[in-house]
Amino acid sequence: MTRPRPTIHDVAREAGASIATVSRALNGGVVSAAARERIEAAIGRLGYRRNDVARGLVTGRSGLVGVVLPDLIGPLYAHMARGIEDVLDEHGMHAMLVTDHLEPDAERRAIELLRARQVDGLVLIGSRLQPADLRAAAGSVPIAHVQRDGPDDEAPQVRLDDAAGVRAAVEHLAAAGHRRIAHLAGTRRDGIERREAFVAAMAEAGLEPGPIVDGGFTEEGGEAAAAVVLDDPDVTAVFCASDRMAVGLLHAAQRRGITVPDDLSVVGFDDLTWARYLCPPLTTVRQPGREMGRAAARLVLDGPFDAAVPVLRIAPTLVVRASTAAPRSHGPAAPSQRRHEPATEEVIAPEIPPPP
């Protein structure tokens, strides 16, 4: 059972053909019916499987796209990976996933490793490498970014339309009657974009932005930042730049006896798997990870359709659950919003403004 695996030579001998003919049979080239039959029989008898590594060496294509992502645990990244696999599958290609845990050094190593394995392309999720370092590590391998964290480079990228998501959230809150809305912000590039979009959306709604506090995107950060926000008695709603911070906020509020949404409305961002399971179920901006992954994979395989527009924006949707309601000063909210009924949710796709 542990005898050396059969090679194309073994098949050729067994079938009474040359290896060139076997190779053609394997790759759908022109081969007489008789030869094909003998070869297939030999393959079956020997249990032969082509060595794709050797094949890749001569064809110069590995059929592999390298994916470097922060981790596999965050459901958002996993969804993106799934989207990438969707389109690679259609092309008979496969993904090789390497995690970098948000460390630039690990990111560089991951890229070099992938390059040494001759990947045909690279999808980088949340890359923070500087353009020069990136190019040095990746050489001439084509790249597509998803939600790149570092400054733009020449590679095409797909990003969430963060501003549209923020606008939908703020409009939802403003329409419910909230006037003083706080923001828990994150420090990455998309956090900054969301923060700026928050200020802009508030202005559009004719409102002053409430307190803006950095929560670093994490539960703990959200919990710490919550203190500042909850001390402001005029704040009736908080828009968080991530679901993880929203959880921290929810805990902090509960500890202080502040009831959501009666005393405070909370909106998250991402719609992670568990957002619907929170107490109360969280109103949040859903990030379509799988679609973003699909778009990136297409970008890396086909290149951008229009090199002049290297950023492809994907539209998020607002998912309205039970963590938002009218502020107390407006009287009790409708009964349907008082119940924490996870089954009830409403999805709002924000209007995407036409590209400038």
* Contacts with its own copies, residue ranges (CB under 8 A): 1-3, 5, 47, 49-54, 56-57, 62, 71-73, 75, 78-79, 81-82, 85, 94-99, 112-113, 115-118, 135-136, 139-140, 247, 251, 273-274, 277-279, 340, 342-343
Given its own copies, DNA, none, residue 20, with its beta carbon under 5 to 8 Å by kind, binds: DNA
Q: Does 256 bind DNA (CB under 7 A)?
A: no
Q: Is residue 38 classed as helix, strand or coil in its secondary structure?
A: helix
- The residue (of 177 and 310) whose beta carbon lies closer to its own copies is 310
Residue 50 or 251: the one with the smaller Cβ distance to DNA is 50
Does residue 30 interact with DNA by CB under 7 A? yes
Residue placing its CB nearer to its own copies in the complex, 293 or 327: 293
**SS3 state of residue 294:** helix
Q: Which of 13, 40, 46, 55 binds DNA (CB under 7 A)?
A: 55
330 touching DNA, by CB under 7 A: no
CA distance 119 to 351: 38
286 CB-near residues (< 8 Å, 6+ apart)? 270, 271, 316, 317, 318, 319, 347
DSSP letter for each residue of 229-291: HHT-TT--EEEESSHHHHHHHHHHHHHTT--TTTT-EEEEEE--GGGGGSSSPPEEEE--HHH
44 binds DNA (CB under 7 A): no
Q: Count residues binding DNA (CB under 7 A).
A: 31
Q: How far is the CB of 280 from its own copies (least distance, A)?
A: 8
Of 32 and 51, nearer to its own copies (C-beta) is 51
Q: Could you tell me the CA-to-CA distances from 143 to 7, 91, 265, 351 in Å, in that order?
A: 34, 17, 41, 30
Task: State the Cα–Cα distance between residues 110 and 256, nearest whole angstrom.
Answer: 44
Of the ranges 5-13, 80-88, 131-139, 347-355, which one interacts with DNA (CB under 7 A)?
5-13
The answer to the question of residue 46 lying near DNA (CB under 7 A) is no
Q: Based on CB atoms, which residue is closest to its own copies, 28 or 356?
A: 28
The 10 Å Cβ neighbour count of residue 90 is 12
The SS3 of residue 199 is: helix
Residue 26 within binding range of DNA, rule CB under 7 A: yes
How many angstroms separate the most distant Cα atoms in the chain? Answer: 89
Judged by beta carbon, residue 59 or residue 254, the one nearer DNA is: 59
Q: Which residues bind DNA (CB under 7 A)?
A: 4-5, 7-9, 16-21, 23-24, 26-27, 29-32, 34-35, 48-51, 54-55, 57-60
